[in-house]
Structure 1
Amino acid sequence: MGMQRIDVSTTTTAPAAAVYALLRDGASWPDWSPIGSFELESPGGDGGESVGAVRVFRTGRITSRERIVELVPERRLSYVLLSGLAIKDYRADIDLTEGPGGTTVRWSSSFRAKVPGTGWLYRRTLSDFIRKCVDGVAAKAAASAEPRS
């Protein structure tokens, strides 16, 4: 079974720090993504949502458990899927690149389907879901970074 890949990007006017803060805070995800709820199942090695933390996200009838595997402040958050979907070897890298026009948010994922012939369906569904996440975090970060009047 072949590796499936998803790569979704957008640019926000917000600084990388604002986007990174939202990504690190699992409790904020239901505010800017299609995710319905968040729970921190177990903290990471440095406490809270640090490397090794297991985060649980619920969307409709789907409950996914994810472990944070890499954090580079204001530049990258990476996680792997532990359970919740009929896929394996899932890893997502969310990279932030700050430039003169704002911050580019690039969400790259790869996985293999557990059931032969279903990889394309998961890729299509997850691509749509990730697009909503990328657009949502970009918009929320931009709104939170705007000066208050």
Structure 2
Amino acid sequence: MGVQHIDVSATTTAPAATVHALLRDGASWPTWSPLGSFELESPGPDGGESVGAVRIFRTGRVTNRERIVEVVPDRRFSYALLSGLAIKGYRADIDLTEGPGGTTIRWHSSFRAKVPGFGGLYRRSLTSFIQRCVDGLAEHATARTQPHGRS
């Protein structure tokens, strides 16, 4: 059972601070991603959605529990999956690189399938899901920075 890797990206005209604020606000995720709902199960030691916080996202019959494992203001947001999918060791790092034309969002993750032979299937499915997340995040961040933008 080999490690599976996902690496997708999108660019927004929004500054990195805007994108990072959306990532840190779990309640915003159902607005810009395919996720159905959000709940903060437990805050981090520094309060709210800081490192160590456990967040729950529900989509249909799937409930994922994730722990925030790294936050670098305006540069990186990382989380690890605690439960919800038949995979183990899932960690996602969302890196933000601000340039003259805006911010590049790179969402990369790795995991192992719990069931031998299913790694590729999960990778393909999650790649599509995560690409929808990163595209939605980029679009939503852009809209937030436009005059009369949606939020």
Per the normalisation by structure 1, the TM-score is 0.98
Separation in structure 2 between the aligned mates of residue 148 and residue 85 of structure 1, nearest angstrom = 39
1:11 matched to which residue of 2? 11
Separation in structure 1 between the aligned mates of residue 147 and residue 45 of structure 2, nearest angstrom = 35
> C-alpha offsets along residues 50-79 of structure 1, whole Å, 9 cap, x if unaligned?
000000000111000000000000000000
Separation in structure 2 between the aligned mates of residue 137 and residue 94 of structure 1, nearest angstrom = 11
Separation in structure 2 between the aligned mates of residue 103 and residue 89 of structure 1, nearest angstrom = 28
> C-alpha offsets along residues 18-67 of structure 1, whole Å, 9 cap, x if unaligned?
10010000000000000000000000010000000000000111000000
2:125 matched to which residue of 1? 125
Q: How does 1:19-34 map to 2 (within 5 A)?
A: 19-34=19-34
Q: How does 1:55-94 map to 2 (within 5 A)?
A: 55-94=55-94
Q: Point out where structure 1 has 5 or more consecutive residues left out of the alignment.
A: none
The amino acid across from 2:18 in the alignment is A
Separation in structure 1 between the aligned mates of residue 80 and residue 148 of structure 2, nearest angstrom = 37
Separation in structure 2 between the aligned mates of residue 11 and residue 29 of structure 1, nearest angstrom = 17
2:112 matched to which residue of 1? 112
RMSD: 0.9
Separation in structure 1 between the aligned mates of residue 101 and residue 31 of structure 2, nearest angstrom = 25
1:148 shift after superposition:
3.3
1:95 matched to which residue of 2? 95
1:136 matched to which residue of 2? 136
SS in 2 for 1:132: helix
Runs (4+) off by over 3 Å:
none
1:147 shift after superposition:
2.5
Per the normalisation by structure 2, the TM-score is 0.97
SS in 2 for 1:122: helix
> C-alpha offsets along residues 77-107 of structure 1, whole Å, 9 cap, x if unaligned?
0000000000000000000000001100000
Separation in structure 2 between the aligned mates of residue 20 and residue 145 of structure 1, nearest angstrom = 13
SS in 2 for 1:46: coil
Q: Percent identity?
A: 77
> C-alpha offsets along residues 119-138 of structure 1, whole Å, 9 cap, x if unaligned?
00100010000000000000
Aligned length: 149
